[in-house]
Amino acid sequence: MSLSVATERAFLATVMHTPVCGQLEVIPEALTVVGPDGVIKAIHRRESPLAEREAQRFAAANNLVTFGADQYLLPGLVDMHVHAPQWPQLGKALDLPLEEWLQAYTFPLEARYADTTYAQSVYESLVGGLLANGTTTAVYYATLHLPATQILADICMRRSQRAVIGRVAMDDAQQCPPYYRDPSPRVAEAETRAFIGYVRSMPGNQGGLIKPAITPRFIPSCSDELLRRLGALARETGCHVQTHCSESDWEHGYVLARCGKTDTAALDGFGLLSRRTILAHGNFVGDDDIALIRARRAGIAHCPLSNVYFSDAILPLQKLMQHGVNVGLGSDIAAGASPSILENARHAVIASRLLESGVNAEEERLRRRRPDSRIDALTAFWLATAGGGVALDLPIGVFKEGYQFDAMLVDARSRAGNLRLDPYERPAEILQKIVYHGGRANIREVWVANRRVHSFGP
């Protein structure tokens, strides 16, 4: 699909978003004005005297995009944790614990990306697939191959998907197989540096659509020396950092045994915990970890679907949010079997409800439950949009002057979708239905920084 050329444009459509967690704002027939740089310049309400005049001005220049009844302009979705090379594995290989899954399925698959032709075809399909699901920003792990990781950055750039991308670093001889590991901490650091330089000087990337991330796979895959080097590189470059943190019983225990402290404390000691850090999972973080993550203002990528298969527990999401930790959602493709952040949003609600009620019916009710754990659909939507933006420290996820116009048009009339609206429904009920029933079939148009990056049929 060809990208539309970015020009100043206005969108006349009912806007729905959650600028504040738990609060839905609906602006009926809003006129959203967007600059050629992709930044929102103004949002005129229907009743504003300027709205009509501005709409006419944009219409006369053929730059007015109008949507109708049962169509809603929502912020694009933010996926804070995707393993790009695992796309071919989506929906299978979910039968082993994490540490065995990595060795049996995942490392052999990731090693294939030494082949750049394979990387090109998989990454093309992945980026197109995520855009079609409304994911306007993705935080990607690639593999340890520099050329294939550059290809992923090129594709995101060409197709205008906002992305934070990391060349994976992993050198530990005990945990990484000989066919898929960095030969030394020095090489891993040098290639990470090379990737950062590549992204920062990509043609067309002056606005920072694509950002590099320092990506130690997780502590078990990395030597102390590599983690120290990457911590110093993070300080030097100010780049994002992504890694896994306290994901499963095994992983949490492994780090405790090796480092004598939790993942969070160890990462902090290596200089890897900052405002730009994204910790995938964090299921087993304790009170001290929560305080540290909060103090460093790092973010957690909550991956509710993946957690079902690999984590052994449910994230205490409500507790983290109450403690002021930045949280967003991650698909964790392919440990999570869905490419849809809406799907992950509903599973975040479901997981929180299971945590609150408890799951073992043979346990007495008061023993099995964990009160005050639930989140609702509105909060899940906030996590999928604005929450992700805050956690990534990017001006996305909300329709607001100065923020990026990353958006999706949800069309409730799509016959292929499951979404059915009733004329008597209130906006808050419509948003609930979008979270519970919305999906690819309803996502008619997708925009990143004022470029249309996906559309289907009339």
- Positions touching ligand GUN (CB under 6 A) are 83, 98, 102, 106, 217-218, 244, 247, 306, 310, 332, 335
How many angstroms separate the CA atoms of 361 and 357, rounded?
10
How many angstroms separate the CA atoms of 24 and 168, rounded?
38
How many angstroms separate the CA atoms of 240 and 222, rounded?
18
Q: CB of 215 within 8 A of CB of 258? A: no
Beta bridge partners of 404: 39
Closer residue to ligand GUN in complex, CB, 217/229:
217
| Candidate segments 70-78, 125-133, 230-238, 276-284, binder of Fe ion by CB under 5 A | 276-284
Is residue 54 a contact residue for Fe ion (CB under 5 A)?
A: no
| Candidate segments 205-213, 274-282, 388-396, 429-437, binder of Fe ion by CB under 5 A | 274-282
Q: CB of 110 within 8 A of CB of 420? A: no
Is residue 332 a contact residue for Fe ion (CB under 5 A)?
A: yes
Closer residue to ligand GUN in complex, CB, 263/411:
263
Site string for Fe ion, 377-416 (x = CB under 5 A): ----------------------------------------
Question: Smallest distance, Å, CB 98 to ligand GUN?
Answer: 6
218 binds, among ligand GUN, Fe ion, none (CB under 5 to 8 A by kind): ligand GUN
430 binds, among Fe ion, ligand GUN, none (CB under 5 to 8 A by kind): none
Closer residue to Fe ion in complex, CB, 217/452:
217
Question: Smallest distance, Å, CB 65 to ligand GUN?
Answer: 39
Site string for Fe ion, 234-273 (x = CB under 5 A): ----------------------------------------
Question: Smallest distance, Å, CB 247 to ligand GUN?
Answer: 6
- How open is the CA angle 145-203-341, to the nearest 5 degrees? 60
Closer residue to ligand GUN in complex, CB, 332/343:
332
Closer residue to Fe ion in complex, CB, 170/280:
280
Closer residue to ligand GUN in complex, CB, 12/285:
285
Question: Smallest distance, Å, CB 264 to ligand GUN?
Answer: 15
How many angstroms separate the CA atoms of 426 and 439, rounded?
20
Closer residue to Fe ion in complex, CB, 129/427:
129
Question: Smallest distance, Å, CB 333 to Fe ion?
Answer: 8
Burial of 138 (0-12, 13-18, 19+ CB in 10 A): buried
Closer residue to ligand GUN in complex, CB, 218/447:
218
Closer residue to ligand GUN in complex, CB, 175/404:
175
Question: Smallest distance, Å, CB 162 to ligand GUN?
Answer: 22
10 binds, among ligand GUN, Fe ion, none (CB under 5 to 8 A by kind): none
Cis check: omega of the bond before 380, within 30 degrees of 0: no
Question: Smallest distance, Å, CB 83 to ligand GUN?
Answer: 5
Closer residue to Fe ion in complex, CB, 74/280:
280
Question: Smallest distance, Å, CB 301 to ligand GUN?
Answer: 11
Question: Smallest distance, Å, CB 102 to ligand GUN?
Answer: 6
Is residue 445 a contact residue for Fe ion (CB under 5 A)?
A: no
284 binds, among Fe ion, ligand GUN, none (CB under 5 to 8 A by kind): none
How many angstroms separate the CA atoms of 420 and 44, rounded?
29
Question: Smallest distance, Å, CB 164 to ligand GUN?
Answer: 16
Question: Smallest distance, Å, CB 217 to ligand GUN?
Answer: 5
Closer residue to ligand GUN in complex, CB, 122/419:
122
433 binds, among Fe ion, ligand GUN, none (CB under 5 to 8 A by kind): none
Interacting residue ranges for Fe ion, rule: CB under 5 A? 280, 332
